[in-house]
């Protein structure tokens, strides 16, 4: 039965390996560009957002911020509830973007609070 | 080894329940499907089509799938008997059913062979619909007992969904591992790899007394007493045959035939 202990060891080791290497497979849930030509200056802010949990909600998030002047691109990672937004700092700022995605979504006459910022980090 | 497997069962099942409780209280966006290796199979469509993930699939599903492939090549379908929480529930219900009814109901061999093919039909249907009609959406959630049970009726579940869970678990009382044996699409994915699994049960025909206990206790109906080495795709290395064998040394574990 000594060789049988390979099974639990393999299960634990491979599960640990999956968790340890998961970021090596990191692929965005959604990558969306809002502009044809990038502006001269671009800043980046990374939000952690409650409600950002899949491709569908990522596209909803994109629709929420699409109307903000100066938005350049959006990249989301649903597993970590992360939305990385590139913007033109001469036209908008992280607070205006937050206000845009946190505004309620009206559907069939009802209002839904879908997204709520948990944290924000200006990258550059 | 049986005790160790029970510890694994309790740990995984406990983890699934804890995840469910955390999700219900808004403490995590993750659900059981975040860690499901079958999600990695379903994600292939969106990775190729959108270079991204659909629904709630992520790189975690892909990482789990890669681990599952390696595990299956090492230890056959050990995932099913050591990790899968739905497999655990079915195993426990099967034991309970055997205690209550005194035996397992055995589907006749001819029908059993036909029914086993259903899991390939399930795999083709699930992937086919996911990659075409559902356009990458996980439409099968409503019919997936693992998802329905461990999200406690999560997103996209229907009234029918709960009937499916009750049916699958109810049948497991009389037909052990009904879902795993006949319908699990992840099992179908593992089948071709499982044949090559390096860790196998080996029978020493010189020591074996041909009592047939191994055949009787195998929940996957593998005729252990009639082979030298168990290469059957359905073997989950649950080791019940080794534990129950009355003749020491008649059954052992071999690694790459040694």
Which of B47, B78, B136 is nearest residue A7 as measured by Cβ atoms?
Answer: B78
Its ipTM equals: 0.81
pLDDT one-digit tens code per residue, B36-93: 999 999 888 778 877 778 788 888 999 999 999 999 999 999 999 999 999 999 999 9
* In-domain check, residue A22: no
- Find, in chain B, the residue whose alpha carbon is nearest to that of A80: B29
Residue B207 belongs to a domain with what CATH number?
3.30.70
Which of B8, B63, B71 is nearest residue A22 as measured by Cβ atoms?
Answer: B63
Q: What is the pLDDT of residue A12?
A: 92
Q: Are B78 and B157 members of one domain?
A: yes
Measure in Å the smallest separation between the Cα of A17 and chain B Cα atoms: 8
pLDDT one-digit tens code per residue, B136-159: 788 888 899 999 999 887 777 788
Q: Are B146 and B180 members of one domain?
A: yes
Q: Which domain holds residue A59?
A: 27-122
Of the candidates B177, B193, B209, which is a domain's last residue? B193
Residue A34 belongs to a domain with what CATH number?
3.30.70.100
In the DSSP assignment, the letter for residue B141 is G
Please give the interface size between A and B, counted as residue pairs whose CB atoms are below 8 Å apart. 102
Report the number of distinct structural domains present in chain B: 2
Average pLDDT for B195-200 = 92
Q: Which residues pair with B229 in a beta bridge?
A: B202
Chain B CB contacts of A25 below 8 Å: 59, 62-63
pLDDT one-digit tens code per residue, A33-84: 999 999 999 999 999 999 998 888 999 999 999 999 999 999 999 888 999 9
Q: Which domain holds residue B222?
A: 199-255
Report the number of distinct structural domains present in chain A: 1
Angle between helices A6-21 and B59-75 (to 10 degrees): 160
Chain A CB contacts of B1 below 8 Å: 1, 4
Q: Are B31 and B79 members of one domain?
A: yes
Average pLDDT for B232-250 = 92
- Find, in chain A, the residue whose alpha carbon is nearest to that of B65: A18
Of the candidates B193, B215, B236, which is a domain's last residue? B193
Residues 6 or more apart from B102 whose CB is under 8 A from it? none
- Find, in chain A, the residue whose alpha carbon is nearest to that of B256: A3
Which of A4, A55, A78 is nearest residue B253 as measured by Cβ atoms?
Answer: A4
Q: Are B115 and B223 members of one domain?
A: no
Q: Are B166 and B243 members of one domain?
A: no
The answer to whether the CB atoms of B78 and A18 lie below 8 A apart is no
Q: Are B41 and B63 members of one domain?
A: yes
Question: Does residue A5 surpass a pLDDT of 90?
Answer: no
d(CA A43, CA A95): 13
CB distance A49 to A118 below 8 Å: yes
In the DSSP assignment, the letter for residue B79 is I
The answer to whether the CB atoms of A4 and B242 lie below 8 A apart is yes
Question: Does residue B160 surpass a pLDDT of 90?
Answer: no
* B197 at A interface, C-beta within 8 A: no
Measure in Å the smallest separation between the Cα of A10 and chain B Cα atoms: 7
Question: Does residue A27 surpass a pLDDT of 90?
Answer: no
Which of A10, A53, A79 is nearest residue B59 as measured by Cβ atoms?
Answer: A79
Q: Are B75 and B112 members of one domain?
A: yes
Q: What is the pLDDT of residue A1?
A: 62
User: Please, which pLDDT band fits residue A88 given cuts at 50, 70 and 90?
Assistant: very high
Average pLDDT for A16-24 = 86
Of the candidates B193, B208, B232, which is a domain's last residue? B193
* In-domain check, residue A90: yes
* In-domain check, residue A62: yes
d(CA A123, CA A44): 5
Q: Are B133 and B244 members of one domain?
A: no
């Amino acid at each position: 039965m000594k060789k049988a202990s390979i099974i639990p060891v393999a299960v634990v080791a491979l599960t640990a390996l999956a968790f340890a290497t998961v970021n090596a497979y990191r692929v965005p849930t959604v990558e969306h560009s809002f502009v044809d030509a990038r502006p001269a200056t671009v800043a980046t802010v990374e939000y952690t957002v409650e409600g950002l949990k899949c491709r569908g909600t990522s596209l909803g998030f994109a629709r929420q911020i699409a109307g903000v002047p100066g938005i350049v691109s959006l990249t989301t990672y649903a597993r970590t509830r992360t939305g990385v937004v590139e913007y033109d700092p001469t036209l908008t700022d992280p607070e205006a973007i937050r206000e845009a995605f946190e505004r309620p979504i009206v559907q069939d006459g009802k209002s839904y609070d879908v997204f709520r910022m948990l944290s924000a980090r200006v990258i550059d | 080894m049986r005790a160790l497997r029970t510890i694994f069962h309790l740990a995984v099942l406990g983890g699934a329940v804890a995840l469910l409780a955390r999700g219900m209280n808004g403490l995590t966006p993750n659900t059981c499907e975040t860690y499901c290796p079958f999600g990695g199979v379903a994600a292939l469509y969106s990775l190729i089509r959108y270079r991204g993930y659909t629904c709630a699939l992520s790189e975690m599903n892909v990482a789990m799938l890669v681990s599952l492939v390696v595990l299956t090549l090492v230890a056959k379908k050990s995932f099913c008997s050591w990790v899968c929480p739905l497999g655990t529930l079915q195993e426990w219900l099967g034991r309970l059913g055997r205690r209550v009814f005194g035996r397992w109901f055995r589907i006749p061999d001819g029908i059993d062979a036909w029914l086993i093919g259903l899991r390939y039909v399930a795999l083709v249907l699930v992937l086919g619909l996911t990659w075409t009609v559902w356009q990458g959406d996980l439409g099968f959630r409503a019919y997936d007992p693992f998802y329905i049970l461990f999200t406690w009726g999560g997103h996209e579940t229907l009234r029918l969904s709960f009937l499916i869970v009750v049916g699958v678990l109810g049948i497991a009382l009389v037909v052990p591992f009904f879902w795993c044996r006949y319908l699990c699409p992840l099992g179908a994915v593992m089948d071709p790899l499982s044949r090559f699994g390096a860790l196998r049960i080996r029978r020493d025909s010189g020591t074996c007394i041909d009592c047939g206990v191994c055949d009787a206790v195998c929940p996957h109906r593998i005729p252990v007493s009639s082979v030298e080495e168990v290469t059957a795709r359905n073997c989950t290395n649950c080791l019940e045959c080794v534990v129950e064998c009355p003749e020491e040394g008649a059954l052992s574990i071999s690694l790459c035939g040694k």
